[in-house]
Amino acid sequence: MIKKILIANRGEIAVRIVRACSEMGIKSVAIYTDADRHALHVKKADESYNIGSDPVIGYLNAHNIVNLAVAAGCDALHPGYGFLSENPVLAEICAKRGIKFIGPSPKVIHRMGDKIQARQAMIDAGVPVIPGSEGNLANVKQAIELATGIGYPVMLKATNGGGGRGIRRCNSEEELVKNYDRVVSEATKAFGKPELFMEKCVVNPRHIEVQVIGDSFGSVIHLFERDCSIQRRNQKLIEIAPSPQLTRAQRDYIGKIAVQAARTVGYENAGTVEFLLDQDNQFYFMEMNTRLQVEHTVTETITGIDIVQEQIRIASGLPLQYKQEDVNYRGFAMEFRINAEDPKNDFLPSFGRITRYYAPGGPGVRTDAAMYTGYVIPPYYDSMCAKLTVWALTWEGVVERGKRALNDMVVYGVKTTIPYYQQILQHPDFRSGKFDTSFVEAHPELTNYTVRLPKEQLAAAISAAIAAHVGL
């Protein structure tokens, strides 16, 4: 078994990995920049090392991170999500230095990170793909010709893109011409490569993804699906498992083709196969994420399987503990990404000091957080500061539990998305389980809420304001 893991990440996911290590008797090593010196993952890990004054560069220097892992006596590295998690170079350096990379092979990361290669791999696997370009676009002229053939609207996408970046919808030739150079620029800045490809735009789909896990012995299983349709500008906000919108036949089908896709590319460790489900109930492959997902918590909640511990076991060379027939789910789980943003002000980031923080509790409630009372949320990173996951036996029950837990979760000092989620949970379309990726855009009125604090919370807020004013 692996004995010591360097966590090449920060925030709540680093804390999550530390906890898995602790339960497995494995030593954990955190890294941090000056901006993160008071971060929770630094306090929780067995050891921690400063990687520089720049708030970002240190987390992106693969050579320095692996050198540190070797110097600290680590035998493995977990990349978390974001940063270098889907960078094959990090996995290659780990292999050269004798450090086990907790994730798939560099070859698979590269193949599935390149959207053109991923499309071809899915075609080879017999998985349905969205009509689009068979390779990178050469220029805007070729893009116009292709769009004319497949019909508008179309999506321009960075070949090496991800996380909702490097992607633009084009409803006409005029928009295609206007957006082409913009996406090239975004792709170059965000991913280091200017290559683009095009797909037919699936209008108002449901975003369904399947969690898969494979070991080094050729076994691959799925842990059912997650519904990620509640999103804003291609960024997920609420994730649900299983999807309240699928039939049993659809669930069996999408799980089967996700496993088929993973087997075809020789996938090892945890990954996610993402699909779009159109209005005619046709599934299309979108992409494969070769890492742990933010929303893995809902899958863990309904299946009882600790995905991070399974990742570590697989990287240690052990076989999967489960066969497909051993995996079952129970009830529904819902995850809310608690972002330090102001929904009433176009979701403007709201960084600063947390003057008071109360985590919710009770039956069926889980909180994964990187914040605490007194913590200053730095402005250099993603705005997500916590994840709230709730579970209940029924769809109606999980919606009500979500409302209660969100009401119990109190964050003072910064604006958050908590009150916005409370509005979503009250909307009849969401409550009936009938929603798609257009939900947020179709309901701008949900940001027109008024925050009314219970008396005890109001008293705490006044106390916090006084304390902040006098510098206590």
Q: Does the annotation count 291 as an active-site position?
A: yes
Q: Label the pairing between strands 332-339 and 352-353.
A: unpaired
**In this structure, what token pair is assigned to residue 286?**
């979108």
Residue 306, exposed/middle/buried by CB under 10 A (0-12, 13-18, 19+)?
middle
C-beta separation of 239 from 211 below 8 A: no
Residue with structure tokens 């929904």? 343
Peptide bond into 104 cis (omega under 30): no
**Comparing C-alpha atoms, which of 230, 222, 363, 206 is closest to residue 279?**
206
Q: Which of 155-191 are b and which e, b meaning 16 or more Cβ less than 10 Å from the residue's Cβ? A: bbbbbbbbbebbbbebeeeebbeebbeebbebbeeeb
**In this structure, what token pair is assigned to residue 293?**
């997902």
**In this structure, what token pair is assigned to residue 345?**
């002000």
**In this structure, what token pair is assigned to residue 465?**
């304001």
Residue with structure tokens 């390779």? 135
| Residues facing residue 357 across a β-bridge | 411
**Comparing C-alpha atoms, which of 286, 311, 109, 281 is closest to residue 210?**
286
C-beta separation of 167 from 183 below 8 A: yes
C-beta separation of 270 from 311 below 8 A: yes
Residue 84 has φ and ψ, to the nearest 5°, of -100, 15
Helices first, then strands: H and E counts in the chain? 17, 22
Contacts of 447 (CB under 8 A, 6+ apart): 343, 344, 420, 423
Q: Label the pairing between strands 410-412 and 356-358.
A: antiparallel
User: How big is the CA angle at 288 (ends 65 and 80), to the nearest 5 degrees?
Assistant: 30
H-helix or E-strand spanning residue 444: none
The sign of the CA dihedral 251, 227, 370, 5 is positive
**In this structure, what token pair is assigned to residue 398?**
């999980």
306: alpha, beta or left, given left = phi > 0 and alpha = psi -120 to 50? beta
Task: Select which of 16, 111, 291, 356 is catalytic.
Answer: 291
Active site amino acids:
291
